[in-house]
Amino acid sequence: MLVHVGLLPLSSSCLPSLPRLPRLSSTKHRTFAMAVVSEDPVREWILSEGNATQITRISPVGGGCINRASHYDTDAGSFFVKTNRSIGPSMFEGEALGLGAMFETGTIRVPKPFKFGPLPTGGSYIIMEFIEFGSRRSNQSVLGRKLAEMHKAGKSEKGFGFEVNNTVGSTPQINTWSSDWIQFYGEHRLGYQLQLALDQYGDSTIYEKGQRLVKSMGPFFDNVVIEPCLLHGDLWSGNISSDKNGEPVILDPACYCKLKWT
């Protein structure tokens, strides 16, 4: 049996043509950013690299519980912005790189990320494409097919893991590269979450039972060849929507290379 581990890509049928993702911009990687941080880096980007000459309206967007979300209307189109006043840029870096990885597969629609970085008074932000959602729920069979296409397109040559650590919600997720799926899943998924639960709640019962599972799960994968590929990483109903044409849209990833059965 052959198993692929990966994330679903954007389906080419959901967009008539997908332009190549522009180079993701981050103040974190710019040498001048350490010297000067704009008082409003979101507005600065929109009015420069975003090609807008004016911002006509800023509207709050509900639905999230971790970040503040806003819809920026401009004369050059719309942008979706998330900010967090207490968490640094690493959280949005993981989201931006995950969105970019899924976008580049050309299989399923995701918001195209444009920029992330620090806020001058603390915290961080991310700017991405604004997608107008439709009133209809996405077709589940189409969603499944496009996810399968993404998994096939998002093969990983580095093994199991991701370019950076990221978060599920605001919970850290470790993505250190590994060539062995059982080791990666046992140590960086089950084991890490068990340790977080032990540290926070102090109950060793679940931790000890979980560790027994980690140490004994190898036989479940006997005679299975596992190959890494791109996964969304946090795919639940709250991170799935549809655009105004009814095409599936997936959001808020915690990407890494994981199992996909074929």
* Contacts for 30 with CB less than 8 Å, ≥ 6 apart: none
Integer Cα distance of 89 and 76 in angstroms: 26
Longest dimension (CA), the chain: 60
- Between CA 230 and CA 108 the distance in angstroms is 13
Q: Known catalytic residue: 234? A: yes
Residue type at 30 in one-letter notation:
R
E strands, 85-233, in order: 113-118, 124-129, 166-168, 171-173, 225-231
Question: Could you tell me if 168 and 189 are in contact, meaning their C-beta atoms sit under 8 angstroms apart?
Answer: no
Q: Which of 73, 234, 243, 252 is catalytic?
A: 234
Distance between CA atoms of residues 25 and 22, nearest Å: 9
User: In which element (H, E) is residue 71 found?
Assistant: strand 68-74
User: How do 25-26 and 113-118 pair as beta strands?
Assistant: parallel
- As beta bridge partners, residue 58 has 72
Residue 42 to residues 53, 76, 127, 216, 256, Cα–Cα distance (Å): 14, 15, 7, 49, 28
Where in the sequence numbering do the catalytic residues fall?
A: 234
